[in-house]
Amino acid sequence: MKNKKFFICFLLACSCGTPEYVKSFIIDTNCDLSVVDGELNGKKTYFLLDTGAGITTFDLNQCRKFGFTSEDTDEEVGGFTNDRARIKRAIGIRSIKINGIELSGGVSYANNMSNLVRFVQNCSDKTISGIIGAPIIKRHGLVIDLANGRLFRVK
């Protein structure tokens, strides 16, 4: 009977362990946002991680710098202000990386993000080139720990 209790306790203890992480990275949360180091088409930049965003989108105003273009779509997105707007599909996004982690797959979009870019720049001294949305965050096992300002990738 003692062995059975010990075995059950052992199994419970093992199942409650923390996930195994590949690495952790710093998230800049100075503006109460999640800003991370990244690369877009091989050029260094910053991204905003947004678990409330259903898409990944890049700033149209920076398309020449990062070597992408856009094309019109019939797709619309809605924001927290209840406004709806047509979005453009980003063309020529070959590589998206956060701290060296390649974030491949999925469609990405482009839009004029000048107000958001300016807000983050004024607040954190960092120029973001886009928003990484929930589908990519989830697909690549990224875990955001805001309390400790860390980003993890679960194996």
Residue 2: is its pLDDT beyond 90?
A: no
8 φ/ψ angles, rounded to the nearest 5 degrees: -65, -45
Instruction: Tell me what the pLDDT averaged over the chain comes to.
Output: 86
The answer to whether residue 104 sits within a structural domain is yes
pLDDT recorded at residue 12: 46
Residue tagged 């070959």 (tokens): 94
The pLDDT assigned to 66 comes to 98
Asked if the structure places residue 33 within a domain, the reply is yes
Distance between CA atoms of residues 139 and 61, nearest Å: 27
Residue 7 in domain: no
Radius of gyration of the chain (CA): 19
Q: Is the pLDDT of residue 1 over 60?
A: no
Q: Is residue 3 pLDDT above 80, yes or no? A: no
Print the domain residue range for 131. Answer: 19-154
Number of domains in the chain: 1
Q: What span, in angstroms and rounded, lies between the C-alpha atoms of 41 and 97?
A: 8
Backbone angles phi, psi at 151, to 5 degrees: -120, 130
Structure confidence at residue 81 (pLDDT) = 74
User: Is the full-model pTM beyond 0.85?
Assistant: no
Mean pLDDT on 124-149: 94
Let me know if residue 95 belongs to a domain. Answer: yes
User: Does 8 map to a domain?
Assistant: no
Give CA torsion, residues 103, 105, 110, 113, to 10 deg.
-30
Question: Mind listing the pLDDT tens digit for each residue in 43-101?
Answer: 999 999 999 999 999 999 999 999 999 999 988 888 767 788 888 999 999 999 998 89
Residue 35 lies in a domain: yes
pLDDT, tens digit, 9 for 90 and up, residues 14-38:
444 445 445 788 999 888 999 999 9
Residues in Cβ contact with 31 at an 8 Å cutoff, skipping those fewer than 6 apart: 119, 120, 123, 124
- Give the domain CATH number at 120: 2.40.70.10
Instruction: Please report the pLDDT score of residue 69 as a whole number.
Output: 96
**The pLDDT value given to residue 14:** 45
Residue 6 forms part of a structural domain: no
In a domain, 52, yes or no: yes
Q: What is the 3-state secondary structure (H, E, C) of the chain?
A: CHHHHHHHHHHHHHHCCCCCEEEEEECECCCCCCEEEEEECCEEEEEEEECCCCCEEEEHHHHHHHCCEEEEEEEEEECCCCCEEEEEEEECCCCEEECCEECCCCCEEEECCHHHHHHHHHHHCCCEEEEEEHHHHHHCCEEEECCCCEEEEEC
15 phi/psi in degrees, rounded to 5: -75, -15
